[in-house]
Chain A
Amino acid sequence: RSEKLFLQAETEHLSRWKKWRRASNKSLKKALSEIKGLSSYLVLWRHDIHSIEGKFGTGIQSYFSFLRFLVLLNFIIFILMFSFVTLPTIISKYGIFNSTVAYISPKNIEDICTVYEPSGNKGLVYFYTYLKDLLSGTGFLELTSLFYGYYSIDAVWISVMRYNLPLAYLLATFAYLALSFLWIIKRSVEGFKHNLVHDADPFQSYCNKVFAGWDFCITDPNAARLKFRSLQYELQTDLQEEKLKQKIAERTMEEKLRIYSLRIFINIIVIAILSGCFYSIYRVTVFSQENSNDVDNPNSQVNLLVQYLPSMVITLANFLGPLIFSFLIRFEDYTPAFEIKLTLLRCVFVRLANIGVLLFSLWSQISDCASDKCKPCGYNYKLYPVSRFILICFPWELLVTHCSCKLVQLFGHKEFEISDNVLEIIYGQTICWIGTFFSPLLPAIATIKYFIIFYVKKIVLIHTRKPAARPIRASSSNFFFLVVLLIGLLLAFVPLGVSIAHIPSSKACGLFKNFSTSWEVIPDTILQFPTGLQQVLFGMASEAFAVPFFVILCIIMFYVIALARAHKRVVEQLREQLVLESRDKMFLIRKIAEAQRYP
């Protein structure tokens, strides 16, 4: 009531202009809040995530929000690729909107190279062949819009406009990579800001755990009990860790020597295991490539098994690696928090490096083919196993995760391990980013896959009894997921960059038949621009522009870092001033008390 009177009194003193402005501000705010209210109904899974938050707390809820973010990201990438690449192709192939197609006319290549027939589908076709083709992505699937081979046209004419399809394909690829990059950075900025200005680790401080420890969203008494236990466990672990740190600081010289030599030894073992992993993946991939082109019996089950072999080996390595690492790290005598971080880092490294080794071994196969003048669907044929890999990986991943879940349950743990789940998702997403260049409809498959995973994980979560041993906090986990996702994206840039700019494209199928590499489309298009614009663009790409630009960027970066450091110093000084102020206050109070005693 009193606030309303106060507002009324204020309004009377304002001029007419200010009154109008205030009224229009209010109505704008009302309109915005109406829109916000309506749009909150459109948010995907709003009710599910809210109930998970109520039952399990914000830490686990952040995992599901992350899943939702990935579903949206993949959906938008799919829309991007579909509308710029697939849609024009479909429109032109079916002749809608008075559009025609200009096929690429091959130059200087023998006729035999320009014709590519997917292997062995002539004559009688058995159901089994279809199934095998579906599972391994060969045969009839090769020529669908799922794979790169479908897009074999040069340009699409819609009425009088010429739509340059190869250019669109390349630019759409760059667009989705840039979009993913910017969106992830935008989401991770919040967590990063805290880290930069405040030195002490804000996620682990005691005040954060005590004052912001209780999740007021929890509505379920069982969940509350779990939360009590996990908070108690967390506080006790932290206090123990602090005592351990003190003990470590008091270690003698010979103890230190012993521990360091032990750590070096274990790291050597880890490196040996990793190299064993990589070598076996390499050998298996080479073996699989050599033997799956066996034309004698293309329908045999052995052939199918051989094609699946690399993905089986990789899944096995990804499954065994973390188990071995968590066993070994016990001997290294780190503090528990650091143990977890190091194991996690090693697991991330194993998974992402496995993809790298797979791609490397596939490429080494391709460069062997360089001597052939004629490569039926050349590198695309070799590299689209990557995209098949994702289709193949999906059922394997589900299978292995659930088998490992069952195994772990046999030993009595029923925890919902967030970090493992997140790593798998990020692994899949990295492959998706790489594969979308070769298979434009892949993001749709990824969207559906994450959709299904959401519901599967929700069911798994409901059957969990034990609280996670190391409770994950919402803010630090958000930041952690996004940072690892960013690492995955940057790793995806490498193979894409090499394949676009370096590897010669096939002459028999695909969009880049007339260009020596995929990248050449762009210089080709630029050469068709007016001369003035051409000169500007070539000038921007030359060293005379790039070096000063780089130097200016460095200067800006150093300025911003210096600013941040200055702010930190000011914060420290103000804290010291506060301490001095309170001492003055205490002194004065004592003086007053004395003066009152002896008037």
Chain B
Amino acid sequence: MGGSASLIPRDLLGEYQELTFLSKQEILLAYKRFSELLPKEERENACSARVPKSQILTLPELRANPFQHRICHVFSTSETRDDSMSFEDFLDMLSVFSDSATSDVKSHYAFRIFDFDDDGTLDRKDLEQLVNCLTGQGEESRLSRAEMEQLIQNILEESDIDKDGTINLSEFQHVVSRSPDFASSFKIVL
């Protein structure tokens, strides 16, 4: 632990603490895990290196997650759109998923993760893909057509307030604020 502390300069550490919801130990632990994903030669400047998506997906916290690709896509700031993540992207992700993040921030990012076609609203196709992610990837684990229709109808009835057939960000945030399980399930702790 002492070794990795000396590799992040102190003012940078303080800055990260101010800008994210993470505590000092959490940032140091994140640094340690991030540098383990890099090949040995690049570990010296882990702060400025980028880790390819395939490496990120080997993290135990992400490998069992059906939303792993969406998470990498949403938090990656890569200009080449290859979903690779830098250390600051990684911290960003951990900050949103941490215990102390506000539910506003969490619901904002949850909306972006669930918006599979990136068009700013959750329409029927997005909801269908979401439910398929939840029930598993095999053919026999999907819901039947009729069940899917009934389920999406119920979801829209509960959350689509302006009745336009899609869920926008504020409707999503409203329905999630009433959901008692959201805060405890939308959480990743290293």
**Interfacial residues, chain A to chain B (CB-CB below 8 A):** 3-4, 7, 30, 33-34, 36-37, 50, 58, 191, 194, 198, 200, 202-203, 205-208, 210-221, 223-225, 228-229, 231-232, 235-236, 239, 242, 473-476, 575, 578-579, 581-583, 585-586
Q: Is the CB of B185 within 8 A of A206?
A: no
Min distance, Cβ A208 to any Cβ of chain B, angstroms: 4
The number of chain B residues with a CB under 8 A from chain A is 51
Using CB atoms, name the residue of chain B closest to A195: B180
Asked if residues A207 and B159 are in contact (CB atoms below 8 Å), the reply is yes
Which among B18, B151, B161 is the interface contact of A239 at CB below 8 angstroms?
B151
Q: Are B175 and A58 in contact (CB under 8 A)?
A: no
Query: How many angstroms between the C-alpha atoms of A235 and B143 in the bound complex?
Result: 9
Q: Which residues of the other chain, A, contact B1 by a CB distance below 8 angstroms? A: none
The minimal Cβ–Cβ distance linking B34 to chain A, given in whole angstroms, is 17
A211 and B114 contact, CB distance less than 8 A: yes
Q: Are B154 and A582 in contact (CB under 8 A)?
A: no
B31 at the A/B interface (Cβ < 8 Å)?
no
- Cα A89 to Cα B24 with chains together (Å): 48
Q: Which residues of A contact B133 (CB under 8 A)?
A: 214
Query: Is residue B52 contacting chain A, with contact meaning CB distance below 8 A?
Result: no
Per a CB cutoff under 8 Å, which of B155, B181, B188 touches A217?
B188
Identify which of A3, A37, A206 contacts B19 (C-beta below 8 A).
A3
Q: Which of B134, B151, B163, B185 contacts A228 (CB 8 A)?
A: B134
In Å, the complex CA distance between A219 and B59 comes to 9
A202 touches B180 (CB 8 A): yes
Q: Can you list 19 contacts pairing A with B, beta carbon distance less than 8 Å?
A: A37-B25, A58-B181, A58-B184, A194-B180, A200-B158, A205-B179, A207-B176, A210-B130, A210-B151, A211-B182, A212-B182, A214-B133, A217-B189, A219-B63, A228-B66, A228-B141, A232-B136, A475-B181, A579-B163
Q: Does B178 contact A (CB under 8 A)?
A: yes
Give the Cβ gap from B24 to chain A, nearest Cβ, in Å: 7
Task: Determine which of A36, A210, A475, A582 lies in contact with B134 in the assembled complex, contact meaning CB atoms within 8 Å.
Answer: A210
Pairs of residues from A and B, 9 with the lowest C-beta to C-beta distance, nearest first: A582-B162, A228-B136, A475-B180, A224-B64, A232-B135, A212-B182, A212-B181, A208-B179, A219-B60
Closest to A59 in B: B181
A223 and B135 CA atoms in complex are apart in Å by 13
Beyond A216-B65, A224-B65, 19 extra complex contacts between A and B, CB < 8 Å:
A202-B179, A207-B175, A211-B175, A214-B134, A216-B61, A217-B185, A217-B187, A218-B65, A219-B61, A225-B136, A232-B135, A232-B136, A235-B131, A235-B147, A236-B143, A475-B180, A475-B184, A578-B162, A579-B162
- The distance in angstroms between the C-alpha atoms of A205 and B175, with both chains bound, is 10
Closest chain A residue to B71, Cβ basis: A216
Other-chain residue from B64, B110, B114, B143 in contact with A219 (beta carbon distance below 8 A): B64
Contact: A58 with B185, CB < 8 Å?
yes
Could you tell me if A211 and B189 are in contact, using CB atoms closer than 8 angstroms?
no
Assembly CA distance A220 to B65 (angstroms): 9
Please indicate the chain A residues that have their CB under 8 angstroms from the CB of B15 in the complex. 4
A228–B135 touching, CB < 8 Å: yes
Q: Is the CB of A239 within 8 A of B181?
A: no
Q: How far is the CA of A216 from the CA of B71 in the complex (A)?
A: 11
Q: Is B150 an interface residue (CB 8 A)?
A: yes
Shortest A235–chain B CB gap in Å is 6
Given A58-B185, A210-B131: A33 touches B143 (CB 8 Å cut-off): no
Q: Is residue B87 within 8 Å, beta carbon to beta carbon, of the partner chain?
A: no
Contact A586 B180 (CB under 8 A): no
Closest Cβ neighbor of B131 among chain A residues: A210
Complex contacts, A232 vs chain B, CB 8 Å:
134-136, 141, 143
Please give, as numbers and ranges, the residues of chain A lying within 8 Å of B150 by CB-CB distance. 239, 242
Which residues on the B side are within 8 Å of A231 (C-beta)?
134-135
On chain A, the residues within 8 Å of B25 by CB distance are: 37
Q: Is A205 in contact with B158, judged by CB distance below 8 angstroms?
A: yes
Please give, as numbers and ranges, the residues of chain A lying within 8 Å of B151 by CB-CB distance.
206, 210, 235, 239
Q: Chain A: which residue is nearest B135 at the CB level?
A: A232
Q: Which residues of B lie under 8 Å from residue A581 when comparing CB positions?
A: 162
Given A210-B155, A575-B161, residue A37 in contact with residue B181 (CB < 8 A):
no
- Of all chain A residues, the one with the shortest Cβ separation from B146 is A239
Contact indicator A212/B186 (Cβ below 8 Å): yes
Inter-chain CA distance A3–B134, complex, in Å, is: 36
**Nearest-Cβ distance from residue B136 to partner chain A, whole angstroms:** 3
| Given contacts A207-B175, A210-B131, A582 and B136 within 8 Å (CB-CB) | no
Other-chain contact of B184, A228, A474, A575, A582 (Cβ < 8 Å): A474
Give CA–CA (A293, B131) in the complex, Å: 67
| Residue in A207, A221, A228, A235 with the greatest tally of chain B CB atoms within 10 Å | A207
- Contact partner, A229, options B67, B141, B175, B180, Cβ 8 Å: B141
- Look across to chain B and name the residue whose beta carbon is closest to the beta carbon of A7: B18
Tell me, yes or no, whether B164 is within 8 Å of chain A by CB. yes
> Contacting A216 at CB < 8 Å: which of B19, B154, B161, B186?
B186
The 0/1 profile, CB within 8 Å of A marked 1, for residues 98-137 of chain B is: 0000000000001000100000000000010011011110
A residues near B159, Cβ cutoff 8 Å: 207
Task: Name the B residues within 8 Å of A223 (CB-CB).
Answer: 64
Inter-chain contact A214/B66, CB cutoff 8 Å: yes
Task: Give CA–CA (A575, B162) in the complex, Å.
Answer: 9
Is the Cβ of A215 less than 8 Å from the Cβ of B141?
no
Which residues in A have their C-beta under 8 angstroms from that of B186? 212, 216
The distance in angstroms between the C-alpha atoms of A218 and B110, with both chains bound, is 17
Closest B-chain residue to A41, C-beta based? B25
Instruction: Give Cα distance in the complex from A251 to B23, angstroms.
Output: 59
- The docked-state distance in angstroms from the alpha carbon of A473 to that of B172 is 21
Q: Shortest beta-carbon distance, A38 to chain B, in Å? A: 10
Question: Which of these, B67, B154, B181, B189, contacts A206 with CB under 8 Å?
Answer: B154
**Which residues in B have their C-beta under 8 angstroms from that of A220?**
60, 64
Report Cα–Cα, A203/B172, bound state, in Å.
17
CB within 8 A of A211: which of B17, B110, B164?
A: B110
Q: How far is the CA of A4 from the CA of B12 in the complex (A)?
A: 11
CB-nearest residue of chain B to A3: B19
Find chain B residues with CB under 8 A from A578 CB.
Answer: 161-162
Across-interface contacts of A221 in B (CB, < 8 A): 63-64
What CA separation (Å) do A30 and B23 show in the bound complex?
9
